[in-house]
Amino acid sequence: MLRVTKLTDYASVVLTVLASEPDAVLSATGLAERAGLETPTVAKVLKPLAQAGLVEAFRGANGGYRLARAPADISLIEIVEAIEGPLGMTECSVHAGACGIERSCTARANWRRINDVVADALRGVSLADMVGPPRPQAKKAIPASLAAN
């Protein structure tokens, strides 16, 4: 099954809490309370989010965290990659030469296309979208053509 890790899921929850109060500086404990998560878990996701430039950290008695950019300017792909690293549906869709059958594999090009479609979908959803109610979407047909070998 393809899914994001629990830490990525928790990171998105923490960021939606921050997005709901974009100018507030919230402590890890305050974020944990609002998100319904344990403080150590929140602290664990805040570090890579800060390293990726998605949140700003402030020290001191009134320290804490806030979004580094407007919620509309943070995409889901940035959140996923901050926690998990580069998106890769398969090892070869991220790193060439990582697979022993790469030269004879006919599936690689199509997995790369699928990887690109998923990345584009995540790029198309912002943190601001995640805070609001889901938007109704018209059903889209996904082209089923495969890449040439």
pLDDT tens, per residue, the chain with 149 residues: 678 899 999 999 999 999 999 888 999 999 999 999 999 999 999 999 999 999 999 998 888 999 999 999 999 999 999 999 988 888 777 777 777 787 788 888 888 888 899 999 999 999 999 997 776 666 666 665 565 55
Provide the CA 114 distance to its chain's centre, in angstroms.
Answer: 17
SS3 content of the chain, % helix, strand, coil (to 5): 50, 5, 40
Q: Is there a contact between 122 and 35 (Cβ–Cβ < 8 Å)?
A: no
Global confidence as pTM: 0.83
Which among 61, 59, 60, 71 is positioned nearest to 23, based on CA atoms? Answer: 71
